[in-house]
Chains A and B, each alone.
Chain A
C-alpha cells in the first residue's frame, strides 16, 4: 500500500510527478464511484417516466435535467455507465484474453503456424472494427452480452499483434534459452516465463483498448444495437439525446461529458502506467 501511494508522490530523483497516473486514478475513481453508488441508490428511478417534467434543464431537483420522457438523466447516467462499464470490461476480457493467447503462440512458435495465424488476424484487421462487430451482432443478436462478445472478437486482432511483437522480442532472450535448457515445456515458457515480461506493454494497451471499447459500444448503441429499452447505456442515451441538441443542449452535453470523463480517465491511467516503467 505504501509502495502504491509512493507512485503518486514526486519522484525524488527526477523531481517529477506522475500527473497522468494521479489524474487518471482520480477520474476513474469518480466514474467507479458513480457506478457503485448507482447500484444501491439513484435519486429517481431510471425508468420512471413523468410526462409533466419533459426535457427540463439543469436544476437542483434534476442535476442533469430530464429527458424527452421525463426521466431523470442523472439517474439514467448512473445506471447507464454501469452497463457501459460492463460491456467494456467484457470486451477487453475477451479481446485481450483471446488476443494474448493467439499472439503468444504465433510469436513464440513462429514459422508456418505463426504466419498463417497472423495473416488471418491481418484479414480481420482490414475491416473496421465497428463493421466487424456489426457482422457479429447480426449473428448473435442484440443485447448487452451479445454486444460485448461481438466487440470482444473485433478487438482480438490488435491485441494479438501487440503480444506477438513482444513475444518475438522475448523468445530469443537468454533467459528463455536457460528455461528451455532446464527442460521447461513450451507452454510453461510462454505463460510463466515470457508473459510476465510483456505485462507492461499489455497493461497500457488494455487501458487504451478499454477506451476504444467504451467508444465502440457508444457507437453501436448509437445505431440502436446493445442494451435494450427501457434501460440504456451511455451511447444509447447520447443517440436518444441528439434530437434535442438545439432545444435542450444540457441534455446532450451532460451525457457526453460523462463519456468524455470516462475515456479521459482510462487514457490517463494507461499513460500513467506506461510511465511507471
Chain B
C-alpha cells in the first residue's frame, strides 16, 4: 500500500440552472495512492467528467452546489481559497482534455504553451532552462524534432501530435496527479494505443498518479489496475479491473463489457 495522496469522500454535485435542482454526482468516493492508475468508466452524462472537474478545481462557482470533501496535501480542494487552489493547479494536479484540436491556443507557439505552467509556478527558472525542460519533455512524449515543433503553431500539427503537446504541457511541472478526461476519444485507434502507452510510460517514469476517464472499457483494462464504474452520477461498481471484468456484479457493468466490439476471426 502506497501513500494516499487524494481522498475524495461523499462528493455531491448539484446543478441549479433549471427549475428543479439536478443531481449530477452523488456519493462519489475515490482514494488515490501515489503512482496509481485508476480508471473511471461510464456512459455520457454519468458524472465522470464532472467528478474529474471537481477534483481539478475547475467547477464553475455559480449555479451549482457541491458537498463532500476532496482532500489533497492536507487541504480540501472544494473549500480552500482560490490562491491555494491555483498553486496546486498545473503544478501538483494537471489535466488533459478530450479535444486536442481546441485545447491549444491557436495564436501561441507550441513551446510557449508547454512552458506556461513553469512560467506560472516556478518563476525562479530562467528562460534558457525553461526551454531546455520544455524540449526535453516534448522529446519524452514522443514528438519528433522537438526543436522545430517548439517554434510551430498548433494548426501545423496533427491531432495526435497536439495531444502529445497537451501531455507535455500537463507533465512539465511533474505533477503528482494527472487527470486524463477521455484523452483518446477524438483520435483514431492506432494513435489511441500510442497515447495510452505514453501515459503508462509517464506513470512509470515520473511516478505520476493518473485518473483515466473513458467510456471505453478495453482501454481501461489495458491501462488501469483499479476501475470505478459510474452510472447516472452514482458509483455502481468499483474494484480491481480484472475482477470487474471477470465477475461483474452489476447488470450495467455487464452491459458495458458486452458493448466492447469483439473481433471474430474464425
Q: Is B125 an interface residue (CB 8 A)?
A: no
CB proximity of A138 to chain B, nearest CB, Å: 42
Inter-chain contacts of B57 with A (CB < 8 A)? 181
Q: Which of B104-112, B191-199, B202-210, B254-262 contacts A (4 or more CB under 8 A)?
A: B104-112
CB proximity of A88 to chain B, nearest CB, Å: 28
Q: Contact at A174–B116, with CB atoms within 8 Å? A: no
Q: Contact at B89–A182, with CB atoms within 8 Å? A: yes
Inter-chain contacts of A15 with B (CB < 8 A)? none
With the chains together, A188 CA to B112 CA distance in Å? Answer: 14
CB proximity of B113 to chain A, nearest CB, Å: 8
Q: Is B94 an interface residue (CB 8 A)?
A: yes
30 cross-chain CB contacts under 8 A? A111-B62, A174-B97, A174-B99, A174-B102, A174-B103, A175-B105, A175-B106, A177-B97, A177-B103, A178-B97, A178-B166, A178-B169, A181-B56, A181-B58, A181-B89, A181-B95, A182-B89, A182-B94, A182-B117, A182-B120, A183-B87, A183-B88, A183-B121, A184-B90, A184-B116, A185-B120, A188-B120, A193-B108, A196-B107, A197-B107
Inter-chain contacts of A188 with B (CB < 8 A)? 120
Ordered nearest first, which 6 A-B pairs have the shortest CB separation?
A182-B90, A183-B89, A183-B90, A174-B102, A182-B117, A175-B105
Name B101-142 residues within 8 Å CB distance of A: 102-108, 116-117, 120-121
Q: Is A173 an interface residue (CB 8 A)?
A: yes
A191-230 vs B, CB cutoff 8 Å, 1 = contact: the mask equals: 0010011010000000000000000000000000000000
- Closest A residue to B106 by beta carbon equals A197
Q: Contact at B99–A179, with CB atoms within 8 Å? A: no
CB proximity of B19 to chain A, nearest CB, Å: 21
Q: Which of B62, B104, B105, B120 is in CB contact (< 8 Å) with A183?
A: B120
Q: Contact at B106–A183, with CB atoms within 8 Å? A: no
Inter-chain contacts of B103 with A (CB < 8 A)? 174-175, 177-178
Given contacts A182-B90, A182-B120, A183-B86, contact A177 B58 (CB under 8 A): yes
Interface SS of chain A: helix, strand, loop or mixed?
Answer: helix
Instruction: Point out residues on A near B: beta carbons under 8 Å.
Output: 111, 173-175, 177-185, 188, 193, 196-197, 199
With the chains together, A183 CA to B84 CA distance in Å? Answer: 10
Among B58, B91, B105, residue most surrounded by chain A Cβ atoms (within 10 Å) = B105
Inter-chain contacts of A111 with B (CB < 8 A)? 62
Given contacts A174-B103, A181-B56, A183-B88, contact A196 B108 (CB under 8 A): yes
With the chains together, A197 CA to B102 CA distance in Å? Answer: 13
- Given contacts A111-B62, A175-B105, 19 further A-B pairs with CB under 8 A are A173-B102, A174-B99, A174-B103, A177-B103, A178-B97, A178-B103, A180-B58, A181-B56, A181-B89, A181-B94, A182-B116, A182-B117, A182-B169, A183-B88, A183-B120, A184-B116, A188-B120, A196-B105, A197-B107
Chain B contact patch, size range: 20 to 34
- Closest B residue to A111 by beta carbon equals B62
CB proximity of A204 to chain B, nearest CB, Å: 16
With the chains together, A197 CA to B155 CA distance in Å? Answer: 14
Inter-chain contacts of A174 with B (CB < 8 A)? 97, 99, 102-103
Inter-chain contacts of B88 with A (CB < 8 A)? 183
CB proximity of B51 to chain A, nearest CB, Å: 15
Among B56, B85, B89, B166, residue most surrounded by chain A Cβ atoms (within 10 Å) = B89
Q: Which of B56, B86, B105, B116 is in CB contact (< 8 Å) with A197?
A: B105
CB proximity of A257 to chain B, nearest CB, Å: 39
Q: Which of A175, A185, A193, A196 is in CB contact (< 8 Å) with B86?
A: A185
Inter-chain contacts of A182 with B (CB < 8 A)? 89-90, 94, 116-117, 120, 169
CB proximity of A145 to chain B, nearest CB, Å: 34
Inter-chain contacts of B121 with A (CB < 8 A)? 183
Inter-chain contacts of A199 with B (CB < 8 A)? 107
B75-96 vs A, CB cutoff 8 Å, 1 = contact: the mask equals: 0000000000111111100110
CB proximity of A109 to chain B, nearest CB, Å: 12
B179-193 vs A, CB cutoff 8 Å, 1 = contact: the mask equals: 000000000000000
- Closest B residue to A193 by beta carbon equals B105
CB proximity of A51 to chain B, nearest CB, Å: 60
CB proximity of B124 to chain A, nearest CB, Å: 16
- Closest A residue to B121 by beta carbon equals A183
CB proximity of B25 to chain A, nearest CB, Å: 19
